[in-house]
Amino acid sequence: KNEVEQSPQNLTAQEGEFITINCSYSVGISALHWLQQHPGGGIVSLFMLSSGKKKHGRLIATINIQEKHSSLHITASHPRDSAVYICAVANTDKLIFGTGTRLQVFP
Amino acid sequence: KAGVTQTPRYLIKTRGQQVTLSCSPISGHRSVSWYQQTPGQGLQFLFEYFSETQRNKGNFPGRFSGRQFSNSRSEMNVSTLELGDSALYLCASRPGVGNQPQHFGDGTRLSIL
């Protein structure tokens, strides 16, 4: 069993829909990261959180430390949100990555 | 401020050769981490350097090595290349260690023939 599990693996949505991507982990962590990877490979760090909730524009990330679970929400999704979203946990100061969620948003 | 720069962007090698990849971190960042991304294994941590010292290492064979220079630029080296080393190699920098966001480069895509 992977130490970091993401669901779903693939997600398609119509523009404007509310999106939720989930991440569960089984190891102790000091922080959880949400990353976005576009075709071509470049990775952008969206959030780093160790408790509670963070919001940036249309993106919201939450974490429940007791349940070892985090969610990434995208409100009013747009085709430019199409990317792979990766959850990563910091364990002994090393990042352990989930397998990613491929999101496609259609106009 | 310039971002993390990785060179080269693409590289083709044959089995048995060795390769050196370069990473220039964001100015002022002293920590550089390297990652391997493959379709089968996803993203995996290779190693991290801070102030010219390797402070963390992932579960990779000794053919994978790295170093960091006094200006924080880092190189990783893979010797005796195998077909399975074909991957996207990403580096990321952050100001120091501990819980800080990482800033990723665009990666070097290495293909082994």
pLDDT tens-digit series, residues A60-98: 999 999 999 999 999 999 999 999 999 999 998 889 999
Residue A57 has pLDDT above 80, yes or no: yes
pLDDT tier for residue A40 given thresholds of 50, 70 and 90: confident
Return residues 26-55 of A near B (CB < 8 Å): 30-31, 33, 35, 40-45, 48, 50
Return residues 56-95 of B near A (CB < 8 Å): 56, 58, 88, 90, 92
Mutation pick from A87, A93, A99 vs chain B, by most beta carbons of B within 10 Å, is A93
Q: Report pLDDT for B33.
A: 96
What average pLDDT does chain B have?
Answer: 95
Q: Report pLDDT for A52.
A: 94
> Averaged over A46-54, what is the pLDDT?
95
| CB atoms inside a 10 Å sphere around CB A49 | 17
Residue A23 has pLDDT above 70, yes or no: yes
- Rounded Cα–Cα distance for residues A71 and B90 (Å): 25
- Rounded Cα–Cα distance for residues B110 and B113 (Å): 10
- Rounded Cα–Cα distance for residues A17 and B48 (Å): 39
Residue A2 has pLDDT above 90, yes or no: no
> Averaged over B76-89, what is the pLDDT?
97
Cis peptide before B101 (omega within 30 of 0): no
Give the gap in angstroms from C-alpha B39 to the nearest C-alpha of chain A. Answer: 9
**Structure confidence by residue, pLDDT tens digits, B1-52:** 679 999 999 999 999 999 999 999 999 999 999 999 999 899 999 999 999 9
> Averaged over A9-34, what is the pLDDT?
96
Mutation pick from B94, B102, B110 vs chain A, by most beta carbons of A within 10 Å, is B102
Q: Report pLDDT for B1.
A: 66
